[in-house]
A = this chain, B = another copy of it.
Protein backbone atom coordinates (compact mmCIF):
# COMPACT_ATOMS: atom_id res chain seq x y z
CA UNK A 1 0.00 0.00 0.00
CA UNK A 2 1.59 3.20 -1.19
CA UNK A 3 1.31 6.42 0.72
CA UNK A 4 1.77 10.01 -0.23
CA UNK A 5 4.81 10.25 1.99
CA UNK A 6 7.53 7.63 2.09
CA UNK A 7 8.92 6.36 5.39
CA UNK A 8 5.96 7.66 7.32
CA UNK A 9 7.00 5.64 10.37
CA UNK A 10 10.22 7.61 10.77
CA UNK A 11 8.73 11.07 10.44
CA UNK A 12 7.99 12.74 13.74
CA UNK A 13 6.23 16.01 14.59
CA UNK A 14 9.64 17.73 14.35
CA UNK A 15 10.72 20.36 16.78
CA UNK A 16 9.08 23.72 16.38
CA UNK A 17 11.09 26.78 17.33
CA UNK A 18 11.46 26.78 21.09
CA UNK A 19 9.70 29.83 22.53
CA UNK A 20 11.91 32.21 24.44
CA UNK A 21 9.79 31.81 27.57
CA UNK A 22 10.76 28.16 27.65
CA UNK A 23 14.46 28.92 27.50
CA UNK A 24 14.04 31.60 30.12
CA UNK A 25 12.13 29.17 32.33
CA UNK A 26 14.92 26.61 32.09
CA UNK A 27 17.59 29.22 32.71
CA UNK A 28 15.87 30.62 35.79
CA UNK A 29 15.31 27.18 37.31
CA UNK A 30 18.97 26.43 36.78
CA UNK A 31 19.86 29.67 38.53
CA UNK A 32 17.67 28.77 41.50
CA UNK A 33 18.73 25.16 41.78
CA UNK A 34 22.33 26.15 41.28
CA UNK A 35 22.08 28.58 44.15
CA UNK A 36 22.81 31.77 42.23
CA UNK A 37 19.37 32.97 43.25
CA UNK A 38 19.02 32.19 46.97
CA UNK A 39 15.62 31.74 48.63
CA UNK A 40 13.95 35.04 49.38
CA UNK A 41 15.83 36.80 46.61
CA UNK A 42 13.85 39.49 44.83
CA UNK A 43 13.83 38.72 41.15
CA UNK A 44 13.63 42.05 39.39
CA UNK A 45 12.21 41.60 35.93
CA UNK A 46 14.25 44.35 34.35
CA UNK A 47 17.53 42.98 35.68
CA UNK A 48 16.79 39.43 34.61
CA UNK A 49 15.74 40.69 31.19
CA UNK A 50 18.99 42.57 30.74
CA UNK A 51 21.12 39.70 32.01
CA UNK A 52 19.44 37.13 29.77
CA UNK A 53 19.31 39.51 26.83
CA UNK A 54 15.56 39.46 26.31
CA UNK A 55 12.65 41.75 27.08
CA UNK A 56 10.53 41.64 30.22
CA UNK A 57 7.71 39.80 28.48
CA UNK A 58 9.25 36.29 28.30
CA UNK A 59 10.61 36.79 31.80
CA UNK A 60 7.15 37.47 33.16
CA UNK A 61 5.68 34.47 31.40
CA UNK A 62 8.36 32.20 32.80
CA UNK A 63 7.84 33.61 36.29
CA UNK A 64 4.13 32.94 36.16
CA UNK A 65 4.70 29.33 35.27
CA UNK A 66 7.31 29.06 37.99
CA UNK A 67 4.81 30.35 40.50
CA UNK A 68 2.33 27.67 39.53
CA UNK A 69 5.01 25.06 40.19
CA UNK A 70 6.11 26.50 43.51
CA UNK A 71 9.50 27.93 42.58
CA UNK A 72 8.72 31.55 43.29
CA UNK A 73 6.14 33.59 45.16
CA UNK A 74 4.46 36.40 43.27
CA UNK A 75 3.43 39.23 45.58
CA UNK A 76 1.03 41.63 43.89
CA UNK A 77 2.73 44.83 42.78
CA UNK A 78 5.95 43.71 44.40
CA UNK A 79 7.15 41.09 42.04
CA UNK A 80 8.66 37.65 42.24
CA UNK A 81 10.67 36.27 45.13
CA UNK A 82 12.46 32.95 45.19
CA UNK A 83 10.36 30.68 47.36
CA UNK A 84 11.59 30.22 50.93
CA UNK A 85 10.77 26.69 52.05
CA UNK A 86 9.95 26.16 55.70
CA UNK A 87 10.91 22.96 57.43
CA UNK A 88 7.26 21.97 57.66
CA UNK A 89 6.83 22.49 53.95
CA UNK A 90 9.85 20.37 53.11
CA UNK A 91 8.33 17.60 55.17
CA UNK A 92 5.05 18.01 53.38
CA UNK A 93 6.75 17.88 50.02
CA UNK A 94 8.68 14.77 50.98
CA UNK A 95 5.44 13.14 52.04
CA UNK A 96 3.90 13.97 48.69
CA UNK A 97 6.88 12.71 46.81
CA UNK A 98 6.87 9.47 48.74
CA UNK A 99 3.22 9.07 47.87
CA UNK A 100 3.67 9.80 44.18
CA UNK A 101 6.81 7.76 43.70
CA UNK A 102 5.35 4.78 45.53
CA UNK A 103 2.22 4.84 43.40
CA UNK A 104 4.26 5.25 40.24
CA UNK A 105 6.32 2.20 41.17
CA UNK A 106 3.23 0.22 42.04
CA UNK A 107 1.61 1.01 38.70
CA UNK A 108 4.82 0.21 36.84
CA UNK A 109 4.94 -3.18 38.55
CA UNK A 110 1.32 -3.80 37.60
CA UNK A 111 2.06 -3.41 33.89
CA UNK A 112 2.10 -6.88 32.28
CA UNK A 113 5.36 -8.06 30.81
CA UNK A 114 5.92 -7.27 27.14
CA UNK A 115 8.64 -6.51 24.66
CA UNK A 116 8.18 -2.81 25.25
CA UNK A 117 8.40 -3.19 28.99
CA UNK A 118 11.51 -5.33 28.69
CA UNK A 119 13.14 -2.59 26.64
CA UNK A 120 12.23 0.00 29.24
CA UNK A 121 13.60 -2.17 32.02
CA UNK A 122 16.83 -2.54 30.09
CA UNK A 123 16.97 1.22 29.76
CA UNK A 124 16.46 1.48 33.52
CA UNK A 125 19.41 -0.77 34.17
CA UNK A 126 21.47 1.28 31.78
CA UNK A 127 20.58 4.44 33.67
CA UNK A 128 21.52 2.70 36.90
CA UNK A 129 24.99 1.99 35.60
CA UNK A 130 25.43 5.56 34.43
CA UNK A 131 24.30 6.79 37.82
CA UNK A 132 26.71 4.58 39.66
CA UNK A 133 29.55 5.75 37.47
CA UNK A 134 28.66 9.38 38.10
CA UNK A 135 28.36 8.77 41.82
CA UNK A 136 31.73 7.10 41.99
CA UNK A 137 33.28 9.93 40.03
CA UNK A 138 31.72 12.44 42.45
CA UNK A 139 30.03 14.05 39.47
CA UNK A 140 27.07 15.46 41.32
CA UNK A 141 25.50 17.35 38.45
CA UNK A 142 25.11 14.36 36.17
CA UNK A 143 24.16 12.18 39.13
CA UNK A 144 21.17 14.42 39.70
CA UNK A 145 20.10 14.45 36.09
CA UNK A 146 20.55 10.70 35.84
CA UNK A 147 18.46 10.24 38.95
CA UNK A 148 15.75 12.35 37.34
CA UNK A 149 15.95 10.26 34.20
CA UNK A 150 15.53 7.13 36.31
CA UNK A 151 12.34 8.26 37.94
CA UNK A 152 11.03 9.67 34.67
CA UNK A 153 11.53 6.29 33.02
CA UNK A 154 9.61 4.52 35.77
CA UNK A 155 6.83 7.05 35.37
CA UNK A 156 6.91 6.22 31.69
CA UNK A 157 6.45 2.53 32.37
CA UNK A 158 3.57 3.21 34.73
CA UNK A 159 1.66 4.70 31.83
CA UNK A 160 -0.03 7.35 33.94
CA UNK A 161 1.06 10.60 32.34
CA UNK A 162 -0.72 12.80 34.85
CA UNK A 163 1.05 11.10 37.70
CA UNK A 164 4.32 11.31 35.82
CA UNK A 165 4.05 15.06 35.37
CA UNK A 166 3.22 15.65 38.99
CA UNK A 167 6.02 13.41 40.16
CA UNK A 168 8.43 15.23 37.90
CA UNK A 169 7.55 18.67 39.25
CA UNK A 170 7.61 17.55 42.86
CA UNK A 171 10.80 15.60 42.35
CA UNK A 172 12.66 18.58 40.97
CA UNK A 173 11.72 20.73 43.92
CA UNK A 174 12.81 18.04 46.35
CA UNK A 175 16.15 17.88 44.62
CA UNK A 176 16.51 21.63 45.00
CA UNK A 177 15.75 21.55 48.72
CA UNK A 178 18.00 18.59 49.16
CA UNK A 179 20.84 20.25 47.39
CA UNK A 180 20.58 23.28 49.64
CA UNK A 181 21.45 21.17 52.68
CA UNK A 182 23.79 18.65 51.11
CA UNK A 183 25.46 20.28 48.16
CA UNK A 184 28.44 17.97 48.12
CA UNK A 185 27.06 14.51 47.57
CA UNK A 186 24.17 12.70 45.94
CA UNK A 187 22.39 9.92 47.76
CA UNK A 188 24.05 7.26 45.70
CA UNK A 189 21.83 4.39 46.70
CA UNK A 190 21.86 2.74 43.32
CA UNK A 191 21.52 -0.67 44.92
CA UNK A 192 18.08 0.36 46.08
CA UNK A 193 17.30 1.42 42.55
CA UNK A 194 18.21 -2.05 41.35
CA UNK A 195 15.97 -3.62 43.95
CA UNK A 196 13.14 -1.47 42.66
CA UNK A 197 13.79 -2.55 39.09
CA UNK A 198 13.60 -6.15 40.18
CA UNK A 199 10.28 -5.63 41.91
CA UNK A 200 8.87 -3.92 38.83
CA UNK A 201 10.11 -6.70 36.58
CA UNK A 202 8.61 -9.53 38.61
CA UNK A 203 5.38 -7.58 38.91
CA UNK A 204 5.39 -7.50 42.69
CA UNK A 205 3.27 -4.41 43.21
CA UNK A 206 3.44 -4.34 46.97
CA UNK A 207 7.18 -4.73 47.03
CA UNK A 208 7.74 -2.06 44.39
CA UNK A 209 5.56 0.35 46.32
CA UNK A 210 7.35 -0.43 49.56
CA UNK A 211 10.84 -0.13 48.11
CA UNK A 212 10.03 3.21 46.51
CA UNK A 213 8.59 4.52 49.76
CA UNK A 214 11.56 3.36 51.76
CA UNK A 215 13.88 4.94 49.23
CA UNK A 216 12.13 8.28 49.55
CA UNK A 217 12.15 8.06 53.33
CA UNK A 218 15.91 7.82 53.20
CA UNK A 219 16.00 11.23 51.59
CA UNK A 220 14.06 12.61 54.53
CA UNK A 221 16.52 11.15 57.00
CA UNK A 222 19.39 12.65 55.07
CA UNK A 223 17.63 15.99 55.03
CA UNK A 224 16.96 16.03 58.75
CA UNK A 225 20.38 14.78 59.69
CA UNK A 226 22.04 17.18 62.10
CA UNK A 227 24.52 19.26 60.22
Contacts and interface: CB of A to CB of B under 8 A. Distances in A.
A154 to B, nearest CB: 15
The copy count of this chain in the complex is 2
Contact of A160 (B19, B95, B100): B95
A43 interface: no
Nearest to A66: B68
Given A60-B61, A64-B64, A65-B65, A92 B17 contact: no
A27 B64 CA distance: 18
Nearest to A160: B92
Contact of A16 (B68, B76, B93, B161): B76
Contacts of A163: 92, 95-96, 99
A68 B67 CA distance: 10
Contacts of A100: 99
A216 to B, nearest CB: 13
Nearest to A60: B61
Given A61-B64, A65-B68, A68-B69, A89 B19 contact: no
Contact of A76 (B17, B75, B96): B17
